[in-house]
Chains A and B, each alone.
Chain A
Amino acid sequence: MAREQSIRLTVNGRVYERTVPVRLSLADFLRDHLHLTGTHLGCEHGVCGACTVSMNGRSARSCLTLAVQTDGAEIVTIEGLRAADGTRHPMQQAFLENFGLQCGYCTPGMLITAIELLRENPQPSEQDVREALSGNICRCTGYQAIVDSVLAVARDTHASEKRESA
């Protein structure tokens, strides 16, 4: 009976070996087995985006991924965004400085999605940002401060790149 399986995966740079029920979602695995509770569950059907993590370099809904599917995978969650010395990721810092969160429940998914956006499109327009984030629901902010946070990072990155190349 194939109802439990062993997996070996990397989460936020650390390797874990665990045996998990096959029906366990990646979200519940991260939260309940690895005690990385930063990733949140808002709907468990893939719509709200709060559970979004990075899997093998791409954003993915952890509520729609089975833990057993992540054998050999590299996962990054909100807890893995900070630098080794504890400094916040520029996106986290921007969300803080621009009031890009209120209750904080959607924030994990917003951060992962926004970071991916800027990797693919370093100088997005406001419309680009809104479109990229349209799969992440926020009920508190009305999105404006979140959009401003993302644009601030794009601006700062652009400015520091200009300085470096000058």
Chain B
Amino acid sequence: MKPAWFDYYAPRSLDEALRILADAGPNGRVLAGGQSLMPMLNCRLLNPDVLVDINRIDALNYLDVTEHHLTVGALVRHADLLHDSRVRDSWPLLFEATKQVAHPAIRNRGTVCGSVAHNDPAAEHPSVLVTLDGTVVIAGAAGRRELPAEQFFTGILSTALQPGEMVVAVRYPRPPAGTGAGFVEFARRLGDFAMAGAAATLMIRDGVCERARLTIVGMGEGPFRARAAEDVLVAHRLGLNECDEVLTEAAEKVRAAVEPADDVHASAFYRRHLAGVMAKRALEMARTRAGMH
């Protein structure tokens, strides 16, 4: 399982990378962590003519925390997030989800932005980015642009990236006080592609849900934002340990709305059922973490 030939470049600046990418056209690929790309090359499922290795671009290797945002550059590895106490303390949803990405060796090399750009329907990061109202920072030969997460993910393994563009950073707003988060996924084995998962945040004030975000993993087209479920929750009283009925209703909305696909691991029917289970469990976790508010 040796890859086909490609031309390989390891530029040291973003501008140079973008130039090579633009010249390469539709058959060029960015190589960051390589944990999704290299298996495809080794299996000859993908045969890019040009590989642009961005690992030498130091300017992309940063993790920036401000009062309002966490910004993660393109070379930040999953493991880097797990080693950062600021992420663990202030972006618990991201932290928890990252813990469930594959296995240690994969997390050491794989990048957050790479996962976002790849948009595997079973991946954790796209859904987390949507739930946290994140932003994707894109660079191309024509310059930079930013997109809200939901607009970035356009379908199975598809994003709004145009030829010659790449993701240079993702940004997460700091969750407001009173927010609890929950991330759950169910895979055949720990670290496998999730059959379904849910990323939930609930902002509770005086027992009332002021804000709800719920995104479902594994539904086939990329992160599924469960708006109907969110609508059920917002403005509702969600007493700690007394909100089972409402959460169940929210889960039902999820079931009714998702349109998962069949594959060798799970039928659409099962995934739909599982989506509801995951949604409820994530919401329960979020409610508990939102604490006594």
Contact = CB atoms under 8 A, between A and B. Distances in A.
- Chain A–chain B contact at Cβ < 8 A: yes
Interface of A: 1-3, 5, 22-23, 25, 28, 44-46, 49, 52, 55, 58-61, 63-66, 68-69, 113, 116-117, 131-132, 134-136
A45 B108 CA distance: 16
A61 B10 CA distance: 20
Contacts of B53: 66, 68-69
Size category of the B interface is 20 to 34
B256 interface: no
A63 B108 CA distance: 14
Contacts, number: 94
B48 to A, nearest CB: 11
Contacts of B190: 131, 134
Contacts of B3: 23
Contacts of A116: 104
B264 interface: no
Nearest to B55: A69
Nearest to A51: B105
A63 B42 contact: yes
Contacts of B8: 2-3, 5, 22-23, 66, 68
B34 A134 contact: no
B191 A61 contact: no
B39 interface: yes
A70 to B, nearest CB: 10
B79 interface: yes
Interface string B25-54: 000000100110011001100000001010
A136 B191 CA distance: 11
B102 interface: yes
A16 B172 CA distance: 42
B79 to A, nearest CB: 7
A59 B79 CA distance: 11
B106 A45 contact: no
A58 B4 CA distance: 28
| Closest 10 A/B residue pairs (Cβ) | A135-B103, A22-B8, A45-B39, A64-B38, A58-B108, A44-B1, A59-B105, A2-B7, A44-B42, A23-B3
Contacts of B7: 1-3, 22
Contacts of A117: 104
B201 to A, nearest CB: 26
B109 interface: yes
Contact of A52 (B1, B5, B105): B105
Contacts of A136: 103
A61 B35 contact: yes
Interface string B95-107: 0000000111110
Given A45-B43, A69-B55, A61 B5 contact: no
A45 B34 CA distance: 11
A59 B104 CA distance: 7
Given A23-B8, A58-B109, 14 more contacts: A3-B5, A3-B7, A22-B7, A28-B2, A45-B39, A45-B42, A55-B108, A58-B79, A59-B104, A60-B105, A65-B38, A135-B103, A135-B191, A136-B103
